[in-house]
Structure 1
């Protein structure tokens, strides 16, 4: 056994489950050991209480896959892990880290002759059943070592995974992927909003979503998901109009500025998420007061 996963949240835990389904035994670790123990009982994987236990349980050269929040948590994990590892070991950052951080982390690892790879993972909660789409950056040697695990995690051994290039390229491609996702989601949401509020037609949004799934140029997994929930509830009255942003949309918008490449759809989709979080409220109040000031238009009070 050479492979371990640290971080058993929705993505990391289901990745461990999928590897178990593919008969690959691994070591697993989570901040909460009860989570680790429960998953080990379900999968047959080896439960580890600490980084030291995890490293000791794996044969050299080891592969340790981190599924941790970007930033300080990942930095702390690296600082704890590196003194425990041996030359030739490989660390994979499989979370949504910024691609520019990857080069710095790879340099830290190289000081101890430890390899580093970055992996962007898409598939969400459905990855366990359908397989994950994985884009990863690193050396050719690292790619060769990761190949059996990519083949197990992906939808098929031949599809759904790609060695995108050097360190950083995997997270960069995943960043752009998530930016595109923002734009696709926003356009679908806007289109259905137009149809919902069209007077006189009484449009069946669930039927339209199902129609578009077959032969339409806008058919997609996002449309499939929309069709499923619209069958249950078209009004969505119990859903708060608040949409969080994970950070990758921001990184994509910033990359467009750095590279001088216009991405208006992605950027506007990000702005709409900010607006849904109440970050447009003060600006809207300013607009209302200006309109009142020059035209005497009524101001609506909360």
Structure 2
């Protein structure tokens, strides 16, 4: 197929490269990349033969909204937009309706695989009509792992981003569990080989996974993780997953706790824990000054 790829960052650039490796013609555009094939969105649209397929792979929020709005003015009836960023699923229906009024199709695609996707393949989760999804299927088939699997047409417009959101919420919980297990083994004073323990779990255990493989790799490079800060951002999907759980009255304590743990990681001196320390001091005389806590006194 011929495909326009808008956004050539860590994900979009590697996806474009994988598609080219598989024989597709990819016309790439990114306002901030020298790797682009054209200099404007209008030039990208002009380069593609109608009916066009354009994949948008830019940051969620205003960049995605403005890109799709501009495409709505440039594309023609019969063209198709695939929105592959980490957008909120609730935004997909409005975008699809706006494009549909002009005869332009819309598919939302959740993409997982990170920087390893070019060589290993990606997980692709899409929402949209069966006709639009089938039209882009050669692209999806080339992006997923060579051994097969990794693709789902999850449902109507919005379903792709919804299941990717849930996927990332689960990822939050798994990462937090590995982190807590690491800290517990280190704190025990009993386990001499924590990296070796995680390495041993990669085969034959019920917790073996790609995340475990990546953790083992990280510990091989830096056994005490001394080169890292204990700080973790959240990309938004964890918050959306928790909000969706509230909206649908679905208990999600593990995912919720993992999100809050990321918030806690950004605090050098937690206000909440200051309150806990103050209360312990009031009822039990457990006073800890900053100097004592830091080891200076």
Normalising by structure 2, we get a TM-score of 0.95
After superposition, what is the alpha-carbon deviation per residue over 1:128-186, rounded to whole angstroms, capped at 9, x for unaligned? 01000000001111111111001111103742111111100000000000000001111
Cα deviation, residue 88, structure 1: 0.8
Q: Does residue 82 in structure 1 map to residue 87 in structure 2?
A: no
Q: In the TM superposition, what is the alpha-carbon distance from 1:293 to its structure 2 partner? A: 2.4
Aligned partners of 2:63 and 2:34: how far apart in 1?
A: 20
Normalised to the residue count of structure 1, the TM-score between the two structures is: 0.93
Match of 1:91 among 76, 81, 92: 81
What does residue 251 of structure 1 align with? 240
Of 215-224 and 157-166, the range deviating more from structure 2: 157-166
- Unaligned runs of 5+ residues in structure 1 are 37-46
Q: Any runs of at least 4 consecutive aligned residues in structure 1 with deviations exceeding 4 A, and if so which?
A: none
RMSD: 1.4
- C-alpha distance in 2 between matches for 1:280 and 1:152: 48
Residues 107-130 of structure 1: per-residue CA shift (max 9 Å, x gap): 111111111110000000000010
Question: For the Cα contact (< 8 Å) 1:5–1:66, is it kept in 2?
Answer: yes
Aligned residue for 2:12? 12
Aligned residues: 291
**Is 1:188 aligned to 2:178, yes or no?**
yes
Alignment of 1:99-248 (within 5 A): 99-156=89-146, 158-199=148-189, 201-248=190-237
Secondary structure, counterpart of 1:4 in structure 2:
strand
CA pair 269-280 structure 1, distance change in 2 beyond 3 A: farther
Question: C-alpha displacement at 1:279, in angstroms?
Answer: 8.2
- Cα 1:142/1:279, change in 2 over 3 Å: farther
1:49 aligns with 2:39: yes
Change (3 A) 1:107 1:161: same
For 1:251 and 1:259, the matched residues in 2 are separated by 12
**CA distance in structure 1 between the aligned counterparts of 2:290 and 2:245, rounded to whole angstroms:** 39
Structure 1 CA distance, aligned partners of 2:220 and 2:283? 46
Which residue is equivalent to 1:3? 3
The CA distance in 2 between the partners of 1:236 and 1:227, in whole Å, is 11
Point out where structure 2 has 5 or more consecutive residues left out of the alignment.
292-297
* Cα contact 1:15–1:128 (8 A) shared by 2: yes
Partner of 1:265: 254
Greater alpha carbon shift after TM alignment, 286-295 vs 24-33: 286-295
